Structure 1
């Protein structure tokens, strides 16, 4: 059994790592032993992050975290305007720079100015609306265009703007002219995505899209809002669509990381419902390389939008597979549970049919603790299945290769987060429901703890699991001799195993001394997954009844069934949603919450970045990490250290010393500085750094390192980058980055 010592061990691992990192970037400078240990990239970006170069506390998670005026938003945010030191003569009145023979830029953000064409608009060879001048007829609606020149732009009447834009689908060349009345300026990279809607019964309602702001406000301000909203949904279901409704999000889930769509924010208003701030958004809707307005008047779109999220109609169920990765604590005292997990898998494999055997693949990851502190543990995390394996191979691994260590690990907490982090990078198959079964009897080293080797916690890993569509079931073995650890571990694993689209968790627990109860629990979990697959494929008529069976008394078996059922439903909603289509080619108003149950968020904010922008952001944060390390070791002030390490990556590093906070240094990409959102990191200054405790500084470093690792992971995923236009080069491919991932 693990010895019970302090859970806040702040000793050897952190000091060793800090010293090693500092020595490493000292030695990796152009001249070893020189005065400037930070003049070269010291390799602190985690494995693979450097590949971003040259390639072509928790952050805000919602619109509630956007700053700026509470009136109309991004189309006229004061926060997005300004010159930022550019030549005033080159900056137009509304903060746009249009260099000769190049794309126009927003002065403050240095981002290209983009336009969203309205439906049925044309590109002309000359700035004259003559049919003989049309070079591109009916250009795709709301697909972003670059601007090369603005001529006689007059926005005094927003309903009928005057003037012309010279435009192009890529930044390499312009294609012609468009009337100002036919386009909308998209002055920032903010957009929204639909949240996971949850299950068929308890999930949220789809987003309704209103023709105008007044119609939406009238409903939101109505004391009978909930009843009126329900009536609208019922009318849509029967084909009686109210006149104020343009379109609707499909009932089935459309995941932006799998089926890319664009919902740019054009304007917003903030209001309050029962004391809770909500936002009313004007959105454009587009799907790259697709055309045609998707309104509820269109029977084809309306029919598919109304298909219930659990309805398998049109879904490729014949291609459905299931991947399960077991992530198991292999510290001392875990061997009996490893053996019982093997026995459960044996029973599962024995129950396979010829069809289901081919559909299952398995992974196996073992974790222990930080080997810098306790080297005799042999590994902190080990992936036994770089490629997923069949059931028989998993049984062999569990019997012959996955073993508990025979030595203690120094303290009680283990590197469970490292195990989850490794398991998330498994070789998951396409068209598979992805599950992780996480098994441990101890808490995980929290972010900032010297023995946390990833710099991540349950919140970071939960976001990454959502993006990867991995659903986690946590089995917590409660040792009655370590009750002080239970309040630490339980919230960690409840968050880690939160069911996507729900506030519920797939967390299960069992007394570690009741091994028969554990065997029953793990038996039930693996067999339930097998039964649910057969049910989904229509091969087991009895599976539904078995899933719905209710035990007379609470038992771990019932607990396992319930947890698996929740995860399975969320995963199946994602899979079935691949056959749904998001609305396109419309402009409408929507609320960022469920109109009936406003506590449920229906839209979340993202920022559209390309590879170059992600690379520059990673380089900036790498400099911040170097400066933090240098200031910690040399007792420099933070900004002094930052100026030193940034000397080769900034044109004027001396400007840093005069900055009041990190956001004012010019180090971070200008598009980040201009986005209207809250950030603790951007507010960092010398006084804040000096007042931090060692633990707080360590926490800050780990937070930044976690973001760097997330950037590396995003960059490595080929299938999550998208082209807005088919002619875009690789460097212009974009990714819808969570605001949580920004510094």
Structure 2
């Protein structure tokens, strides 16, 4: 064979590898000490992109853009929007800010609390949080906002920005937990403000737009054997409001719906259904069109297997099966004389718990109310059900929207359901500027409490509606310091801290929790095997089996994106010694909590409308802003 022939064969044999190398996309740089997390930066306003470092020609880059880092050289960084190898160019290092944790802040609804302040420096905020007169000092700072020399750079917008509907970036660069002398914990946050769609902040929505505000109340009613008197009274409360609307101007602004629920029918088919949509609020039909469907609702003819029923199955139908986008006021009222089946109950249709269904309602902007009938027959169930529904109905500054009916008498229920229905209807009518006569004002302490709480919820709904209509964005500041709690009442959250997880990261987290769950279930007979099961399961799937073979705490088996986040996690820090010292009941509770979180992540993954891109463009990498309290 000639030398020429040998050379040609050698070249040909190298072609597949060379072609493969060319096809393999570049990867961004990893964060030092990490094996899966890429470096990201946020570009400052005024940053310019260059073909090469020091190249004279440049093009402007949109301020607040989030970029991956592909290279660093002599004070320059090479950046690209995605992690797919495509680069945009080089920027000067001083025109970019490192963003190690994909944490963002999400404003809570400002109804019933003070607007968040963004301060110039951490020292001023730290002093404010440590001050015994924090509330009064905050009032003085807020009054001086906008004046020369004021440490306040910006205030939160007056209307509510729903991060699920109008995504904005409020990246958190650093976070620390500050504990006040009274024991209250507040997070001190260093943030950058960056609307996701790079545009000028619009003017606040015209209040005249409130004339198009619409409200819907969906009753989720227990229709088991004991509930017929309450079904009838709920039906009459709806019928009375429909009659009051009549042909008034507000007839196009208010609708009712109903979902009925019972319990598992596998052992008792006579129950007919677990949960059923009776009617949805429909703006294309007159208000009274719902009434024939409501007349069909009857209590079950047989009792359920246990006292608790599948309230969460009913709530999920109300959340998922109603087109809430047509309504600014979104209200769901649970009516029951029993507790809700827990996520761990094999008879639960959804296998979701109270925290998970509440998180799904919050993502849809829905306020949950509960009317709990404290009947003598359910005396042994009252305390556990009260705890469930108090947690279920927490709503910002309004507190818990839980209304117990002592004794459970139909007459007492009548007062509560009518008081709540009237208050919700009044809120919508007053919001659109079309009050309707004949709706009784609150006259009793019970009715006044309902009216006060509904006023806060109604204000929150108005602010959210105006924010959506006006496209309200985060305040236009570059780098500042704020806190996640209300400075007037630190028990109220002003900002929710969330972490942006990609689909792959959420999938990895779900798989890790599945392995932990499997190990926990396999070790029920002998808890001492739990960590051994974990080490074996994770080592078998890890890139670095030796590291996970020496698993000392569960957090080592979860994603690197959870390391260093400012939240306290029983699961992340759990060691083998702590696990063995917990006892069987606590171990079972921890495993049940992991199982509920896993189902919540499955719900997140199944809702594409709640996923966001960092720059608002279609086709970009999608993220889910997961609240810290939804993490394991």
Check whether TM > 0.5. Answer: yes
Q: What pairs up with 1:514-593 in 2 under 5 angstroms? A: 514-540=409-435, 549-551=441-443, 553-554=444-445, 557-558=447-448, 560-578=450-468, 579=470, 580-593=472-485
Deviations 1:417-470 (A, max 9, x none): 332233222323314111111100122234445544444433333333222211
Please list every run of 5 or more consecutive structure 2 residues that lacks an aligned counterpart in the other structure: 1-23
Match of 1:368 among 241, 259, 262: 262
Aligned to 1:177: 90
**How far, CA to CA, are the matches of 2:514 and 2:503 in structure 1?**
16
Match of 1:282 among 190, 194, 201: 190
Displacement of 1:104 in angstroms is 1.1
Pair 1:141-2:63 in alignment: yes
Displacement of 1:286 in angstroms is 0.3
SS of corresponding position for 2:190: strand
**How far, CA to CA, are the matches of 2:455 and 2:189 in structure 1?**
35
Match of 1:491 among 375, 378, 387: 387
8 Å CA contact 1:448–1:695 kept in 2: the answer is no
Q: CA 1:632–1:465 in structure 2 vs 1: closer, same or farther (change >3 Å)? A: same
Q: CA 1:411–1:742 in structure 2 vs 1: closer, same or farther (change >3 Å)? A: same
8 Å CA contact 1:364–1:394 kept in 2: the answer is no
8 Å CA contact 1:142–1:585 kept in 2: the answer is no
Aligned to 2:12: none
Aligned to 2:215: 322
Pair 1:196-2:109 in alignment: yes
**How far, CA to CA, are the matches of 1:143 and 1:688 in structure 2?**
44
Match of 1:412 among 307, 312, 321: 307
Q: CA 1:363–1:558 in structure 2 vs 1: closer, same or farther (change >3 Å)? A: same
**How far, CA to CA, are the matches of 1:365 and 1:213 in structure 2?**
50
Match of 2:515 among 623, 626, 630: 623
SS of corresponding position for 1:508: strand
8 Å CA contact 1:608–1:736 kept in 2: the answer is yes
Displacement of 1:483 in angstroms is 2.7
**How far, CA to CA, are the matches of 1:221 and 1:675 in structure 2?**
22
Q: CA 1:550–1:523 in structure 2 vs 1: closer, same or farther (change >3 Å)? A: closer
Displacement of 1:207 in angstroms is 1.6
8 Å CA contact 1:197–1:205 kept in 2: the answer is yes
Please list every run of 5 or more consecutive structure 1 residues that lacks an aligned counterpart in the other structure: 1-98, 153-162, 295-299, 305-311
SS of corresponding position for 1:259: coil
- Paired positions, count: 600
Displacement of 1:338 in angstroms is 1.0
RMSD: 3.3
TM-score w.r.t. structure 2 length? 0.85
Deviations 1:290-337 (A, max 9, x none): 256x8xxxxx88xx5xxxxxxx74463243222222111111111111
8 Å CA contact 1:456–1:703 kept in 2: the answer is no
Deviations 1:648-687 (A, max 9, x none): 754566865432233234xx33323464543222345556
**How far, CA to CA, are the matches of 1:694 and 1:218 in structure 2?**
45
Aligned to 2:17: none
Displacement of 1:114 in angstroms is 0.7
Deviations 1:186-218 (A, max 9, x none): 1111222222222xxxx2211212222344345
**How far, CA to CA, are the matches of 2:398 and 2:458 in structure 1?**
15
8 Å CA contact 1:510–1:517 kept in 2: the answer is yes
Displacement of 1:471 in angstroms is 0.9
Pair 1:121-2:47 in alignment: yes
Aligned to 2:13: none
**How far, CA to CA, are the matches of 1:371 and 1:701 in structure 2?**
27
Q: CA 1:676–1:525 in structure 2 vs 1: closer, same or farther (change >3 Å)? A: closer
Aligned to 2:138: 229
Pair 1:352-2:245 in alignment: yes
Pair 1:715-2:605 in alignment: yes
Q: What pairs up with 1:62-81 in 2 under 5 angstroms? A: none
Q: What pairs up with 1:285-296 in 2 under 5 angstroms? A: 285-291=193-199
**How far, CA to CA, are the matches of 2:269 and 2:544 in structure 1?**
45
**How far, CA to CA, are the matches of 2:269 and 2:525 in structure 1?**
25
Pair 1:463-2:359 in alignment: yes
**How far, CA to CA, are the matches of 2:547 and 2:384 in structure 1?**
44
Q: CA 1:704–1:531 in structure 2 vs 1: closer, same or farther (change >3 Å)? A: same
Q: Which moved more, 1:679-688 or 1:571-580?
A: 679-688
Q: CA 1:181–1:461 in structure 2 vs 1: closer, same or farther (change >3 Å)? A: same
8 Å CA contact 2:396–2:492 kept in 1: the answer is no
Deviations 1:52-75 (A, max 9, x none): xxxxxxxxxxxxxxxxxxxxxxxx
**How far, CA to CA, are the matches of 2:126 and 2:451 in structure 1?**
43
Q: CA 1:105–1:676 in structure 2 vs 1: closer, same or farther (change >3 Å)? A: farther
SS of corresponding position for 1:282: strand
8 Å CA contact 1:434–1:471 kept in 2: the answer is yes
TM-score w.r.t. structure 1 length? 0.73
Aligned to 1:5: none
Q: CA 1:222–1:414 in structure 2 vs 1: closer, same or farther (change >3 Å)? A: closer
Displacement of 1:369 in angstroms is 2.8
8 Å CA contact 1:413–1:443 kept in 2: the answer is yes
Q: CA 1:241–1:335 in structure 2 vs 1: closer, same or farther (change >3 Å)? A: farther
SS of corresponding position for 2:572: helix
